[in-house]
């Protein structure tokens, strides 16, 4: 099954920069707010260099938050039956998301391991799930948990392990300013929670190189 963003046929609009804008996103409202912010920080929103900025930022937010209007489950519905009940791991899935506290990016890699229970999905679908879930304002813990729960609910897996490593710009470019700090979160479900050797196996494959 294709999602609206894959077909490009949703009732939203395609902008000149080819960003698909779901109809739920109110671009003029974002533009107005960005103009206000520019004025509030002491800028002149009418100077030449800033004239197009509100519209640009509106399109950018539509892109960065597109996961609010997309259902990651759609990518897990096309599974196939396979008698394989060992670990499947897709490592180093890069992503960019937005921290909901400061609306600044956090970026890094997601690793998803699962042990199927009959249903196997195409490997790219795991990366597609990360892509949709990452395009929402959130905290890293919730992103990790959300991805793990999706595999449990849609594929009925025997176990799932999701590990996310990310750097948060709200910690590097402002506030405490600690460039290089890395936040690691993990969600272990099913046999990865109950079985120590399964957990060690997946962690070794993620970090063992
Ligand atoms: N647990 C968690 N915290 C996050 C995440 N993203 C950002 N934060 C933190 O959210 C917290 C918000 O803290 P506040 O005290 O409300 O805001 P603040 O005054 O801007 O905090 P500082 O960043 O310490 O300057 C900060 O400690 C951030 O580091 C995340 O994904 N998970
Ligand atoms: Zn933050």
185 Cα–ligand 2 center, Å: 15
Atom 18 (ligand 1) nearest CA: 175
ipTM of this predicted complex?
Answer: 0.93
pLDDT in tens, 157-177: 999 999 999 999 999 999 999
Whether 1 has a pLDDT exceeding 60, the answer reads: no
pLDDT for res 186: 98
Please tell me which residue in 131, 165, 168, 201 is annotated as part of the active site. 168
34 ligand 1 Cβ < 6 A: no
Alpha-carbon distance 7 to 14, whole Å? 12
Ligand 1 contact via 40 beta carbon (within 6 Å): no
Q: Does the pLDDT of residue 14 top 80, yes or no?
A: no
Which residue has the least CA distance to atom 20 on ligand 1? 175
Query: What single-letter DSSP state applies at residue 49?
Result: G
Q: Report CA(180)–ligand 1 centroid distance (Å).
A: 16
Query: How far is residue 8's CA from residue 78's CA, in Å, rounded to a whole number?
Result: 19
Select which of 75, 99, 111, 138 is catalytic: 99
Question: pLDDT per residue over 37-96, tens digit each?
Answer: 999 999 999 999 999 999 999 999 999 999 999 999 999 999 999 999 999 999 999 999
Domains of the chain plus CATH, in order, are: 4-68 (1.10.286.10), 77-207 (3.30.1130.10)
Q: Atom of ligand 1 at shortest distance to CA of 171?
A: 29
For residue 168, indicate whether it is catalytic.
yes
129-133-139-141 Cα dihedral, nearest 10 degrees: -30
Tokens of 195: 């079985």
The CA distance from 74 to 158, in Å, is 20
From the CA of 139, give the closest atom in ligand 1: 31
168 lines ligand 1 (CB under 6 A): yes
Nearest ligand to the CA atom of 140: 1
pTM, 2 dp: 0.90
Q: What is the mean pLDDT of residues 195-201?
A: 96
CA dist., res. 175 & res. 165, Å (int): 20
């Amino acid at each position: 099954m294709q999602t609206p963003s894959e077909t490009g046929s949703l009732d939203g609009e395609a902008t000149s920069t080819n960003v698909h804008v779901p109809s739920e996103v109110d671009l003029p409202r974002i533009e107005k707010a960005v103009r206000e912010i520019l004025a509030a920080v002491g800028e002149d929103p009418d100077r030449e260099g800033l004239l197009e900025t509100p519209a640009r930022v509106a399109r950018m937010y539509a892109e960065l938050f597109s996961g609010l209007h997309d259902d990651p489950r759609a990518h897990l519905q096309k599974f196939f039956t396979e008698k394989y009940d060992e670990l499947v791991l897709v490592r180093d899935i890069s992503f960019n998301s937005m921290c909901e506290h400061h609306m600044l990016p956090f970026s890094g890699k997601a690793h998803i391991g699962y042990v199927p229970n009959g249903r196997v999905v195409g490997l790219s679908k795991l990366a597609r799930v990360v892509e949709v879930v990452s395009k929402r304002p959130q905290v890293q813990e919730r992103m990790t948990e959300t991805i793990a729960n999706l595999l449990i609910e849609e594929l009925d897996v025997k176990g799932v392990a999701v590990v996310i490593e990310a750097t948060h710009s709200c910690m590097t470019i402002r506030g405490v300013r600690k460039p290089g700090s890395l936040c690691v979160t993990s969600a272990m479900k099913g046999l990865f929670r109950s079985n120590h050797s399964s957990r060690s196996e997946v962690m070794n494959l993620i970090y063992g190189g």
